[in-house]
Structure 1
Amino acid sequence: MTGVSHVAEDRYLVIANAYPNDSNIYNYGFLHRRVKKYLDAGLAIDVFRVDTNEPELRTYVFDGVTVTTGNRDIYTQYIMASDHASFLVHFPLDYIIAPLSTHKPSTPIIAWLHGYETLSWHRRWYDAVDVAGFMDRVKSLRAHGENKKVPFLRELYQAEHRDIRFVTVSNWFLKHSVEPDAGVRVSNVSVIPNVVDTELFSYIPKDPALRHKVLIIKPFTGYKYANDLVVKTILSLRQSPSFDKMQFSIYGDGPFFDETVEPLRELENVQLTKAFLRQEEIARLHAEHGIFLSPTRWDSQGVSIGEAMSSGLVPVSTAISAIPEFVTHGTSGLLAAPEDPDDLASCVEMLVDSPETFARLSEQATIHAREVCGPEATTDREIQLIKNPELGRNTDTGEVAWEAAYSDLEDELFSVLNHFSERLDAPGVADSAPPSK
């Protein structure tokens, strides 16, 4: 295939199904930050974006990184012609792994597990906008067994014949999502969080007055991001004697933005900006605010929270999924109970009313974020793994009995969906609940 050349052994190929470009600067920003760190460390990196809508081999440059892109057939030809030392795969989907296994079976692979590509159906409960429709889909999936990606990943995790290592971004994600959904222990896995750029998100001691300024930066693309809880939190804070002193800045975009923020439009101390932001713009806003309000319904890490912490903002989030692994309640931030805007409001009010608490948590948030998500704890470790894949070898694998855990998860799922049905005026799901044990 013209346009593809063989490369030296010391080059590494990053492969993903998306990458930022000038028209979508936020897509897979976590991957771009890694690539920049790899290049800064002197690694020779090529990037291939597998794009099913790209009929020809094409290259473009984004922020100094050259990206090659093409559809699946072009990607397969590219792999056949490559001579990279290893493949660095983000989101190990079957159509990305298959050409590597077929045409380069002896070339090492490091595969990063980020989220959607590993999750079984019940992990998507936070997308239950239409509860009745969601439950129809749930019942269909349960009736017809696992979706196709689960057996593929189960085999990949235990592929003794393949030189492959895995990276996950949190212990919680590995132990509560990746392994339970596959039903096996993952062999040859390292837990390395996504990197936070501590130089860009630099710490400047916060003026106590900034505790009155609350920053929210979120996509408005689904219920996972809990933007409705942000709105309810602000409305709950109207009961606080300190409310008039508070300033809320909300930045984001997506199909749910307008309808979600509608109840806040008449509040004079709420600034609404419908826009996505570049990293430099986010860092500038960090310097102007003291609290980062970021509840969630599911997250394998919470990179934006880590970036805010690195800048010295005090995070107020939710004690759910992997968030407590990165925010220690009362030490490096404050965590509220899931689905509890009044608890979130109490956390914000505590910081506003206590400059001493705010100052202490601000300093500790920075220290904690840098220890857990700074380059030394993340991309430096990844670079060592890339140079020496044997560092990622372990043998913690085998079949496990997940039935009890799955039963608990199903109970929780149906409980949550019934809760949503009440709030969304949708039909209940009691008739679809799993049998009692």
Structure 2
Amino acid sequence: MKNLLYIGNKLSKHGVTPTTIEILGPLLEQEGFVVIYTSSYKNICLRMIDMLWSVFQNRKADYVLIDTYSTTNFWYAFATSQLCRLLQLKYIPILHGGNLSFRLQKNKRICSLIFNYSYKNIAPSNYLLEKFKEQGFNNLICIPNSIEIKNYPFQERKKASPNFLWVRSFTKMYNPLMAVEVFSMIKKKYPEATLCMVGPEKDGSLLEAKQKNKDLKLDILFTGKLSKQDWISKSKEYAVFMNTTCFDNMPVSVIEAMSLGLAIVSTNVGGIPYLLENKKEGLLVQDNDVDEMVLEIEKLLEDDNLFVNLAKNARQKAECFDWECVKHKWFTVFQ
């Protein structure tokens, strides 16, 4: 039985969308691993201190998993990885965020201190795998983000309807205002259209989206954060999943939408084209191109065969990310 220390932002109790630490960790526990988590502190300074103290306290752990992002959280990964090096602990960065490739270019020396000395670097997508290889890092394994497919019942929809779902944290990185603008244009042709936007506020983007909704006299439903079970249930009322992000890697929310039988229309950024093949498993448009997304959505709404095929193919692709398939790759890492 392996003992794991998992370092990440375990903040769902503060109203934040659960991240990988709260998805992967429990799945590993189901397989018999002992997992200790850090950190749940909302304050970033306290969180950093707690992470470092946890590394020291658990210096006999077999492995340390470190969720590694591109923005502020990057520095948590740097600090904890260097303490792991000092204590001769095997640490495993799990690479997140479509913007992490820019961090490799901006902070080359610091990145080398993290990723050249790790036991393994886990890339959830071939996109980040390629970006890291381009920068000379070789100690890489691609293990995709996973879900338990049994929890995502496929709903077969015979016909497209102008009912849209958007699920993400409200932050500028995920560009929720684009979804509002797209919906405004769709509404002119399909007055019966509906849009539901699910997710918590992060940087004021939710207030901006609500104000734009009011200014444009739309009727968007903003639910705030919903539990996984609640938004899966809510998804039955919708047919098309809009993903408007500016940066991305391998978003679990998109994999979940693929599993549920929704047709995906997404910006073609970061790892998205590695996840969705255009016109086969989803429709992809350029970043922040409202007109192009409206055009692709109209094609979808006017072609039931396209809609049905996209949803069916997306579900088949999503089944590859079932935990029962993915877990064996993790077992190989921990052997």
TM over 0.5: yes
Amino acid in structure 1 at the alignment position of 2:125: S
Partner secondary structure for residue 319 of structure 2: helix
Give the TM-score normalised by the residue count of structure 1.
Answer: 0.67
Counterpart-to-counterpart distance in 2, 1:249 and 1:51: 31
Please list, as runs of the form range in 1=range in 2, the aligned pairs for 1:269-280 lying within 5 A after superposition: 270-280=219-229
Show the counterpart of 1:172.
127
The DSSP-based 3-state class of the residue aligned with 1:299 is: coil
Structure 1 segment 159-198 matched on structure 2, within 5 A: 159=117, 164-176=119-131, 178-180=132-134, 184-198=135-149
Percentage of identical aligned residues? 17
Name the CA distance, whole Å, in 2 between partners of 1:73 and 1:324.
36
| Preserved contact between residue 149 and residue 322 of structure 2 (Cα < 8 Å) | yes
Q: CA RMSD of the aligned region, Å?
A: 2.9
Pick from 75, 78, 94: which aligns with 2:78?
94
Cα 1:102–1:228, aligned 2, differ >3 Å: closer, same or farther?
A: same
Map 1:266-415; keep pairs closer than 5 Å.
270-371=219-320, 373-386=321-334, 388=335
| Structure 2 residue ranges without an equivalent (≥5) | 69-75
Partner of 2:72: none
Letter in 2 for 1:154: S
SS in structure 2 at match of 1:316: strand
Q: How many angstroms does 1:211 deviate by?
A: 2.5
Give the 3-state SS of the residue equivalent to 1:100 in structure 2: helix
Contact 1:231 1:263 (C-alpha < 8 Å) held by counterparts: yes
Distance 2:332 2:263 in 1: 32
Report if aligned partners of 2:6, 2:25 keep a CA contact under 8 Å in 1: no
Q: Does residue 246 of structure 1 match 2:230?
A: no
When residues 263 and 76 of structure 1 are mapped into structure 2, their CA distance, relative to the original with a 3 A threshold, is closer
- Alpha-carbon separation, structure 1, partners of 2:42 and 2:161: 47
Structure with max Cα Rg: 1
Q: 1:212 aligns with which of 162, 165, 173?
A: 162
Unaligned residue ranges in structure 1 (runs of 5+)? 1-9, 57-67, 124-145, 389-437
What is the match of residue 230 of structure 1? 179
Deviations 1:100-148 (A, max 9, x none): 2112x1x43322121389454699xxxxxxxxxxxxxxxxxxxxxx54x
Of 203, 206, 210, the match for 2:154: 203
Instruction: Work out the number of aligned pairs and report it.
Output: 326
Change (3 A) 1:333 1:34: same
Q: Which amino acid aligns with 1:192?
A: I
Whichever residue aligns with residue 170 of structure 1, its letter is S
SS at match of 2:150: coil
Q: CA deviation at 1:70?
A: 5.9
Residue 342 of structure 1 aligns to a residue whose secondary structure is helix
1:74 to 29, 43, 53: 53
Structure 2 Cα separation of the partners of residues 116 and 302 of structure 1:
10
Distance 1:246 1:117 in 2: 33
Distance 1:35 1:329, change over 3 A: same
Distance 2:45 2:212 in 1: 45
Query: Quick one: structure 1 residues 262 and 207, their matched pair in 2 at CA, closer, same or farther if it must change by over 3 Å?
Result: farther
Displacement after TM superposition at 1:320 (Å): 2.0
In structure 1, the partner of 2:111 is 153
What does the per-residue CA deviation read over 1:138-196, in whole Å, with 9 as the maximum and x for residues that have no partner? Answer: xxxxxxxx54xx3122134333xx6x1110111112323x455xxx3212211112113
Name the residue aligned to 2:90.
108
Partner of 1:85: 62
Report the Cα distance in structure 2 between the residues aligned to 1:187 and 1:381, rounded to whole angstroms: 17
Alpha-carbon distance in 1 for matches of 2:225, 2:291 = 28
**Partner amino acid, structure 2, of 1:354:** D
3-state DSSP of counterpart to 1:330: coil
SS in 2 for 1:331: coil
How big is the shift at 1:313?
Answer: 0.4
- Residue 48 (structure 1) aligned with residue 6 (structure 2): no
Cα distance between partner residues in 1 of 2:319 and 2:252: 12
